[in-house]
Structure 1
């Protein structure tokens, strides 16, 4: 991926040291661990975390709870809210979870907050479905997983971001994310 992130170095304790902290979007299909890894990553980066699901209007939550996939027209207000939050964190840093499955969604987020860096949590369908089936109290049913995988457009070479495999435990995944962000290097 492109190296336009702002992560500059890692000290002896493996804590990320920032020049200008980036705003990181932890993305991926439902069940990849965005809500688990996001806060862990934010803690490692020393920045606030925002749960992307909290930005959904009630109508979106009702639709997904009923097993109805969202359409783009449903997603625009949600993405715009996340974009406003990310814009407000520019120069301060932050981590937000957001599926950001399509390039167009990521472009919309970047139009609000141009310095965004994406961490794409990836895993095979079987692993993700297993994790999703064990999740309790979430509005996204396993039945919508196929539509999420069908919609997913992985990060492209010109997008600032990294892909991180979700096999293993949360701490291991977070370590891979921190290491991958470090590899991006300072902003060009």
Structure 2
């Protein structure tokens, strides 16, 4: 709860700074890099560009060379397994060289495709974002559990604090990207 308050306070301060001092400082804290690639692949996969930018900001802070402790790589933090599965879904030959996940275009393209598949599967934005963070099968389990979902389609509560913070953070960053960059 403290981290959520901290993020909310940060966002409110950024919006105040933007209103009083212009967008310069806020844009410095929330940069938008690879905007052309984000626009292209968000449009190709029918996603809001502000959402893609918010996912990238949350996942890697726009660092193309980011690598997580769990082996997720690049801007949108794709694991090798997810990358290979997406290549299979797209009927593309499997790329054995995982360094391509550090290429912004490759990472954004496959990350957007993965998000689009999750949105098609789960319909609800919060649920799809929870699946991007925690995994499809885990979210399916939450949807089947009446403690977390009333209708089997949307999550009324996300049981993992890390995933709950992740989803809230993306929502806040998405709003900021809409305002700061008119995405």
Query: Which category of TM-score, normalised to the shorter sequence, fits these structures?
Result: under 0.3
Q: Report 1 or 2 for greater relative contact order, CA contacts < 8 Å, sequence distance ≥ 6.
A: 1
> Between Structure 1 and Structure 2, which shows a larger proportion of strand residues?
1
Larger Rg: 2
